[in-house]
Amino acid sequence: MNTVLITGCSTGFGRDTALHFLNQGWNVVATMRDPAASTLPASDRLRILPLDVTDMSSIAAAVAEAGPVDVLVNNAGVGWLNAVEGTPLETVRAIFETNLFGAIAMMQAVLPGMRARRTGVIVNVSSSSLYKPLPLLSVYRASKAAMNALTESAAHELAPFGIRVRIVMPGMAPSTSFGETARGQVMKDGGFPAAYADYAQQTLAALMEAANGPVTVGQDVADAVYRAATDPECPAVLPAGADAVAWARDA
């Protein structure tokens, strides 16, 4: 029976993806910073492990306890919404630590085993914001753009070992706490610079208006990740959600 390890499973896309793999009969290693926060249903095919993707010792412990992994899903991520000028450099580093460096560290942790078995799949969850130059997402988009570039090259590096690497691009998902968490962090760090206040208000209003149209739900992402993990003919970059599909088509 195949085993998938998924990062960031306490809520949102990670939780929905873990549940979907469980429902398909997989062994699931669902990881999160605080396992006590899990709301996943009990199953003899589910293990919930603590994991902080910014902590190398935490990564090593989780991967060792997980054992052989057939599929790695790099889902853990943090959002951010502010202008470049309003983003402290320490915040930039923290975003890249989770969204990019954490994904790289997880790949490096599972790849020796995948290479030895000459099989495996890595699915990196990115963002459909890369299809459009959306304002106030500059630093967040930069972290995801870097991960896409990394993934595209890694796919070629790893193909000779029988390892597939894919990207899933979720759209806007107002039903998750991702955006609200990002806005809360912005306010905690001082809010938008005064010079950008009017622009930020207009941009946020436009984002809220867009949420009244086609959006992404967790099952869209779970379906896309599962396809990326199980379908050898899956495209290298797969949009997830009605809005993401439309943006990809128009890009």
DSSP secondary structure string for all residues of 11-71: SHHHHHHHHHHHHTT-EEEEEES-GGG--PPP-TTEEEEE--TT-HHHHHHHHHHH-S-SE
CA-CA distance, 40 to 46, in Å (whole number)? Answer: 9
- Checking if the pLDDT of 54 tops 60, the result is yes
pLDDT digits (tens, 9 = 90+) for 109-133: 999 999 999 999 999 999 999 999 8
Query: Which active-site residues does the annotation give?
Result: 140
CA-CA distance, 98 to 181, in Å (whole number)? Answer: 15
Q: Are residues 28 and 15 in contact, defined by beta-carbon separation less than 8 angstroms?
A: no
- Give residue 27's pLDDT: 98
Residue 94 CA: distances (Å) to CA of 9, 88, 89, 139, 176: 19, 10, 9, 11, 21
Mean pLDDT over 5-33 rounds to 97
pTM: 0.93
- Contacts of 211 by beta carbon, 8 Å cutoff, 6+ apart: 172, 174
Q: Which residue has the tokens 């450099």?
A: 89
- With cut-offs at 50, 70 and 90, classify the pLDDT of residue 207: confident
- Checking if the pLDDT of 49 tops 90, the result is yes
Q: Are residues 11 and 73 in contact, defined by beta-carbon separation less than 8 angstroms?
A: no
Of 187, 89, 204, 195, the C-alpha closest to 137 is 204
- Give residue 214's pLDDT: 85
- Give residue 101's pLDDT: 98
The distance between the two most distant Cα atoms of the chain, rounded to a whole number of Å, is: 56
Question: How far, in whole angstroms, is CA 217 from its chain's centroid?
Answer: 14
Look at 11-20, 56-65, 76-85, 198-207 and tell me which has the smallest mean pLDDT: 198-207
- Give residue 191's pLDDT: 81
- Checking if the pLDDT of 82 tops 80, the result is yes
Torsion of CA 56, 147, 90, 58, to 10 degrees: -10
Beta-strand runs (E) in 81-130: 120-125
- Give residue 176's pLDDT: 60
- Checking if the pLDDT of 136 tops 60, the result is yes
- Give residue 243's pLDDT: 93
- Give residue 32's pLDDT: 97
Question: How far, in whole angstroms, is CA 174 from its chain's centroid?
Answer: 16
What superfamily in CATH does domain 3-250 come from? Answer: NAD(P)-binding Rossmann-like Domain (3.40.50.720)
Q: How many CB atoms lie within 10 A of CB 43?
A: 12
Mean pLDDT over 2-7 rounds to 98
- Checking if the pLDDT of 98 tops 80, the result is yes
Do strands 163-170 and 120-125 pair parallel, antiparallel, or not at all (unpaired)? parallel
pLDDT digits (tens, 9 = 90+) for 154-198: 999 999 999 999 999 999 887 665 556 656 666 666 688 999 999
- With cut-offs at 50, 70 and 90, classify the pLDDT of residue 30: very high
Residue 186 CA: distances (Å) to CA of 55, 57, 77, 136, 180: 24, 29, 16, 11, 10
